Chains A and B, each alone.
Chain A
């Protein structure tokens, strides 16, 4: 953890040296709907709970920081339509029992105030899907499973709305990319090496296999599973390769992708076998953890790993949304460990919550009159560029997940920050407690494009 923190401090310092940002305070980048109702003296609560500690803490902790900063930003400017923003959250440590208990506590304590809830994990989404529908509470989640968003039959839209495309659709989109890049992926055969939970298994469904097969991309029928706590997955990786895979796809995060990449290097197959994954593999954390094993060319094992990128990234500083979040990150003197996906996306989620409340209150006339059903009606009709383009919320025609995605590749910055390093010789190296470290960057390879709909 110390090693990681130190490196991220350096990353943060490097980030400060990136192309100059305007020093004066930027305008809020969103085109928010104008308030028609004065809410002075009232409070809009942002409710959220999930696994803030435990194995996912790397990714989830910055959620609280981002929401705190966003709340302070708005309250410092007179609130939203005059209403003060507040956040009410709880850490469930990744336990289903704790999640159920937190949900019971929230619903019994806040009753009618709880119309919109932010969740993090697919497991929590699946656990609470029916309860949210029964209690008429809308939930925003980063990326849910088919079952949490659309029910067992994949056809029953519920009360959860995801900011990212379904994982199965992300996988289908990756197959499109593979099929369109025969020079990079000749005779592609994809094998899953993934976590065994709801998140990890997404994309292993027959529908995804059939779709990819139709594109000329074979997918092995038997996924290989490993636990987030595993430290040796040689057998799983070897099984996938023995099955014929020349691309390994993973639905895991933090240590998961780094472990697979390291194993490929250990096997001497880092050039022959490509590694790819869901949007969470494209995180700074993976770029850091992937440096525990270096390739023979001297670059970290995760160099060249492909992944989904359905939102803008920290390095896309030409976009006002990223500039704005980056400025807030700097002003609030956030710790370097927080400059990740969660901090960036959480600002966007708060923006979408604000827009949702403004539209709903404008329609129903007061904050007290807002119900979960009203929020749902607003979200169903929403077509909104979050923070002016960081992400997009559009959930019409029964959709509950995002429909646009792009593919990116993880690289490491070269010495003058003008592009990706080709080896240790031209890489940007910084001092860390365990020696020199590389600076991970995420390079988008495609534009935003519609994902295939594979939920059946």
Chain B
């Protein structure tokens, strides 16, 4: 779609010609929309302002939409911009998800370092599975990428089972900034419970007990949570420090639950010890609202970057490869190199999305990264508009709203009405049938009536609006 300006707006400089938002009004609308999305959690039911204007479920929904917008935008770079196909995108997301979780759990990476490292790792795996694009394309490339969808989950499930948990769920720690400097240090006496208040959903207390004991005394540390339960040493939010003999010399714990905690150190064998309870604050992103403020800006940033890729030399090369790879090669473009770059970038986006999904849910399962998810993302792109920067956003939003807002609304009505209209419909299974029927129906409608997707229709609408009253 040509870059149409409203009547009277002319590009007189190169900067104006290259600008993303040509008019102040364009910029204003985008900034207002972004600001409104940023303000949304504040006015939600659980928001700090307590206004309750927006249901919490929509905060979670927007966060999930944003995660999939990132993933589908990656697919857009590969499919829409470069004309390559991938049926293994969900598997790439799995690498980002499990990669970041393992980095955090096993190597102690924070979310902020695990995110880029896992994204890069996913990009490298994407490169590997992009290699067949040197020799094959179209249907055959689809089959080659389909291999990724089978191999990667298998590797995560079996050879890496010790790290990934196989089919069992894997807990993921909440992102955190901090802990900051200790704000309270208290000495702990022998067999004297030390009580303290902790717990704030956003500024959590990170506590640590440092123990120095006379050799052979082996004191036992007990931590009691607000529910009155002893926190087991295997608790996900606890880490243990041990000496070379395996004796516990301290522990640290993220006390996110509000209430009174108690620390008790029991002396053993009559030995002496010194123990100090240190408390510091950390900014936690455990709540849906806090995660929203990581996910949404990242989605906007990556959308913006994807939008700008097609304005660069690389992006133009992608498009030339998509439109006619033979002609592109004759023009001196390294077709294979650019295909690999597209695979790399696409996988990086998938890796970021996978990492965000893991941290948003705090729990990982391979069931979330099956072939049907790959196909669903491809369908989202087709419905949204492959090759359009906004295609991913439109496609994901359309499908997710269909699944999470429209279907629950339609369900009671369809359950009553459909078996009467179509007697062969099994009333018992209507609910599970609605989703694939509407999803498939939407896909068919778009393929037949608007094969270029919602984004194309949006561009047509925009041009018509700008050229009014002479839009014809």
Q: Which residues of A contact B (CB under 8 A)?
A: 1, 51-54, 57, 61, 90-91, 93-98, 100-101, 104-105, 107-109, 111, 123, 126-127, 129-131, 134, 145, 147-148, 151-157, 196-198, 200-201, 373, 376, 398
Contact (Cβ within 8 A) A126 B169? yes
Which A residues are CB-close (under 8 A) to B367? 96, 123, 197
Q: Which residues of B contact A (CB under 8 A)?
A: 45, 55-57, 60-61, 64, 165-171, 227, 229, 232, 234-236, 256, 286, 361-363, 365, 367-368, 403-404, 408, 411, 426, 428-433, 435
Which B residues are CB-close (under 8 A) to A127? 169, 361, 363, 365
Which 4 A-B pairs have CB atoms at the shortest separation, nearest pair first? A153-B234, A93-B432, A53-B432, A108-B56
CA distance A129 to B169 in the complex (A): 10
Contact (Cβ within 8 A) B363 A153? no
CA distance A61 to B368 in the complex (A): 25
Which B residues are CB-close (under 8 A) to A104? 56-57, 60-61
CA distance A108 to B169 in the complex (A): 25
CA distance A147 to B429 in the complex (A): 29
Contact (Cβ within 8 A) A108 B431? no
Contact (Cβ within 8 A) A156 B57? no
A52-B431, A93-B432, A97-B403 in contact; A198/B168 too (CB < 8 A)? yes
Q: What are 10 inter-chain pairs, A to B, with CB distance below 8 A?
A: A53-B428, A90-B408, A93-B435, A94-B432, A101-B408, A151-B235, A156-B235, A196-B167, A197-B367, A198-B169
A53 contact from B165, B169, B235, B431, Cβ within 8 A:
B431
CA distance A100 to B67 in the complex (A): 15
Contact (Cβ within 8 A) B408 A105? yes
A93-B432, A96-B368 in contact; A153/B235 too (CB < 8 A)? yes
Contact (Cβ within 8 A) B362 A197? no
Most buried by A among B56, B232, B432: B432
CA distance A339 to B162 in the complex (A): 42
B429 contact from A53, A101, A108, Cβ within 8 A:
A53
CA distance A94 to B367 in the complex (A): 11
Which A residues are CB-close (under 8 A) to B171? 130, 151-152
Which A residues are CB-close (under 8 A) to B60? 100, 104
CA distance A54 to B431 in the complex (A): 8
A111 contact from B45, B169, B362, Cβ within 8 A:
B45
Instruction: Name the distance in Å between A107's Cβ and chain B's nearest Cβ.
Output: 7
Which A residues are CB-close (under 8 A) to B408? 90, 101, 105
**Can you name the residue of chain A whose Cβ is closest to the Cβ of B407?**
A98
Contact (Cβ within 8 A) B435 A95? yes
CA distance A437 to B106 in the complex (A): 56
A126 contact from B234, B363, B428, B432, Cβ within 8 A:
B363
CA distance A346 to B428 in the complex (A): 18
Contact (Cβ within 8 A) A201 B232? no
Contact (Cβ within 8 A) A53 B168? no
Known: A94-B432, A98-B403, A126-B168. 6 other contacts (CB 8 A): A51-B432, A96-B367, A105-B408, A127-B365, A134-B256, A156-B236
Which B residues are CB-close (under 8 A) to A98? 403, 435
Which B residues are CB-close (under 8 A) to A123? 365, 367
Most buried by B among A101, A123, A151, A398: A101
Instruction: Name the distance in Å between B50's Cβ and chain A's nearest Cβ.
Output: 13
Contact (Cβ within 8 A) B167 A197? yes
CA distance A184 to B458 in the complex (A): 71
Which B residues are CB-close (under 8 A) to A96? 365, 367-368
A100 contact from B45, B56, B165, B361, Cβ within 8 A:
B361
Which A residues are CB-close (under 8 A) to B236? 151-153, 156
Instruction: Name the distance in Å between B10's Cβ and chain A's nearest Cβ.
Output: 48
Which A residues are CB-close (under 8 A) to B435? 93, 95, 98
Which A residues are CB-close (under 8 A) to B368? 96
Instruction: Name the distance in Å between A21's Cβ and chain B's nearest Cβ.
Output: 28
CA distance A119 to B232 in the complex (A): 26
A105-B57, A127-B169 in contact; A57/B428 too (CB < 8 A)? yes
A147-B168, A147-B169, A152-B236 in contact; A101/B56 too (CB < 8 A)? no
**Can you name the residue of chain A whose Cβ is closest to the Cβ of B372?**
A95
Contact (Cβ within 8 A) B57 A373? no
A96-B365, A127-B361 in contact; A54/B432 too (CB < 8 A)? yes
CA distance A136 to B144 in the complex (A): 46
Contact (Cβ within 8 A) B232 A130? no
A54-B432, A156-B232 in contact; A373/B227 too (CB < 8 A)? yes
Instruction: Name the distance in Å between B6's Cβ and chain A's nearest Cβ.
Output: 41
Which A residues are CB-close (under 8 A) to B168? 126, 145, 147, 152, 198, 201
Instruction: Name the distance in Å between B434's Cβ and chain A's nearest Cβ.
Output: 8
Which A residues are CB-close (under 8 A) to B235? 151, 153, 156
